[in-house]
Chains A and B, each alone.
Chain A
Amino acid sequence: MPTTNKRAEVNRRSGWGEWLGPFFTSDLGLKWLMALTGIGLLGFVLVHMVGNLKVFFGAEEINLYAESLRELLYPLVPKQSVLWMFRIGLAAMFVFHIWAAWVLTNRSHKARGDIKYQAKRRYDAVNYASRTMRWGGVIILLFLIFHLADLTFGYANPEFVPGDVYNNMITSFERTPVAVIYIVAQVVLALHIYHGAWSMFQSLGLANPRFNDWRRWFAVAFAVVILVGSTSMVLAVQVGYLTL
């Protein structure tokens, strides 16, 4: 049966990951990288939230906490050195996570082919969270840029005072449009975590019929904790519970 419609060899591995070793040119290796960086980022999101919940204890407590980050392991090491290690590591995790997602998305789009199904697909397992991982990730990245401009560098907050974390949070969250941005971003992040914190177990090969239910519960719990904890600060300012 002659056919000239040959299968396209769509995913000849690009050399982008070659310097990390051949493992990181493979889809499975990149997914493994995404899972590991995802764990690191989950840890960051959790610690970041727990630390900033100190805002409920008052200006002195949270400003002390912020200052203490600069003095981690001081006087053993110079001030801010541990903080910069964390920052660089965190930036690296973001870069690898996003780079892997980019490479894998391109490969999958090529593998999908040109002709789409005409009938509306009936999805039985795909959910809103898993379907929005890619664009959700983009939204989270945009939010991250805004968040840094708002509370780290202060470009987005005219009343920003370097070092006065309490003042910066209150003056930022008081603005209703900003509060909406924060809350929407946390919902998107929670959805990302709902799929990601479950999916990472699959990517790392951690599956066992005895414990599989726990993976889902872990992801749900993590997403809920982040959503409730993070939005509580914004809402507390909006309803007037936290004021200057």
Chain B
Amino acid sequence: MDVRLRVWRQPKGDVTGEFIDYEANDVSPEASFFEMLDQVNEALNHAGEDPIAFDSDCREGICGACGLMINGSPHGPQQGTATCQVHMRKFTDGQLITIEPWRAAAFPVIKDLVVDRSIFDEIIESGGFISANIGSAPDANAVPVPHTAAESAMDAAACIGCGACVAACPNSAANLFTAAKITHLNLLPQGQPERYLRTVAMVETMEEYFGSCTNFGECETACPKNISIDVIAWMNRDFVAAQWKNLLKAGQA
């Protein structure tokens, strides 16, 4: 199959970018989206031109490095899938595919389709540590965890930090990412000692850079891991509770 591409090209961060059209011919419908881009880049290399820069690492949907806005959809047309696992059979022959980087003030473009998402690391970092025993591994069931809590925490922990929630959000809010990271610790007994300090610290860091959630729910449908916006509600609840809990300076939780 043949497709036409309209790709955002920007040599580096502080230079104005523009859209440039390319053609990808004889692409196998079974090729992944990145294999198609690799094919285009190979041709560009042969012609002595600068290949299109894009992030990708594991190419199996678990690392969170990749993320492209494809025809106005974060991670492309298939829900619950990262860009690397979208295949060309999801597109039609001769289709025009517009490829853009994530757009948000907090995600400056480094080059072409690569954006700097290190602000996510800053949010994680502000969350600090959890108190856990070190030394030999504890017995498997020494700390009882309710099954439902384990499941919900696991669902939240599926977040790969790709930034699609921010890219999808008309407000550029990072609530789904931050809430997923907060929730997967706050639901588990191991996360309890620092629960409310962590919630406030991570929310405050998030709010310095990102917009405010208006509960559009667009992040949920963009998320390659299908993380529910329930986690945002749980973050809101813990943030309000934290206002009282953190007042108790003697340390009662």
A: which residues have CB within 8 A of B? 1-13, 23, 26-32, 104, 107-126, 130-131, 133, 195, 198-199, 201-209, 212
B100 contacts across to A, CB distance below 8 A: 117-119
Interface residue stretch chosen among B21-29, B34-42, B82-90, B214-222: B214-222
A98 to B22, CA, bound (A): 47
Main secondary structure, interface of A, reads: loop
A205 to chain B, nearest CB (A): 3
A175 to B89, CA, bound (A): 59
CB-based contact B229/A27 at 8 Å: no
CB-based contact B105/A112 at 8 Å: yes
A203 contacts across to B, CB distance below 8 A: 215, 233, 236
B: which residues have CB within 8 A of A? 6, 12-14, 19, 69, 71-73, 77, 79, 98, 100, 103-111, 116, 119, 170-173, 203-204, 207-218, 220-222, 228-230, 232-240, 243
CB-based contact B209/A9 at 8 Å: yes
CB-based contact A207/B212 at 8 Å: no
A-B contact pairs, 30 of them (CB 8 A): A3-B13, A4-B14, A5-B109, A6-B108, A7-B119, A8-B106, A13-B207, A27-B211, A111-B211, A111-B212, A112-B104, A113-B104, A113-B105, A113-B107, A119-B6, A119-B72, A119-B98, A120-B72, A124-B79, A125-B216, A125-B218, A126-B218, A130-B217, A131-B170, A131-B216, A202-B213, A203-B233, A203-B236, A205-B233, A205-B235
* CB-based nearest A residue for B12: A3
A118 contacts across to B, CB distance below 8 A: 6, 19, 98, 100
CB-based contact B217/A126 at 8 Å: yes
CB-based contact B236/A28 at 8 Å: yes
CB-based contact A9/B208 at 8 Å: yes
CB-based contact A108/B172 at 8 Å: yes
A4 to B14, CA, bound (A): 6
CB-based contact B103/A119 at 8 Å: no
Closest 6 CB pairs of A and B: A205-B237, A5-B13, A207-B233, A3-B13, A108-B211, A111-B211
A201 contacts across to B, CB distance below 8 A: 233
* CB-based nearest B residue for A199: B215
* CB-based nearest A residue for B222: A124
A202 contacts across to B, CB distance below 8 A: 213, 215, 229, 232-233, 236
B226 to chain A, nearest CB (A): 12
From B116, B209, B243, A11 is in contact (CB under 8 Å) with B209
CB-based contact A111/B209 at 8 Å: yes
CB-based contact B208/A8 at 8 Å: no
B111 contacts across to A, CB distance below 8 A: 1
B168 to chain A, nearest CB (A): 8
